[in-house]
Amino acid sequence: MFSKKLIRLNDVLEITGLSKSQIYALIAEQKFVRQVKIARSSRWSLDAVNAWVDARVAESEVAN
């Protein structure tokens, strides 16, 4: 059974609190999860996005 969930950009924006332009800028800088192209649309791995958020939280805890 397939357990990976792919989410849309709007979901990524809600999870991260970032804007569309910020997401794509971070992708261009290789600092954010790359999207998966499916036909003519883009999706992101929910697990990968959550891991990215968790890493940012961990970084902020170390900095404090």
Tell me whether residue 1 is in a domain: no
Mean pLDDT of 42-64: 92
Domain count, the chain: 1
Tell me whether residue 49 is in a domain: yes
pTM recorded for the entire structure: 0.87
Q: Is residue 42 predicted with pLDDT exceeding 80?
A: yes
Query: What range does the domain containing 52 cover?
Result: 6-63
User: Which H or E element spans position 7?
Assistant: strand 6-7
CA quadruple 51, 22, 44, 53: dihedral, nearest 10: 10
Tell me whether residue 56 is in a domain: yes
Q: For residue range 20-36, list pLDDT tens digits in order.
A: 999 999 999 999 999 99
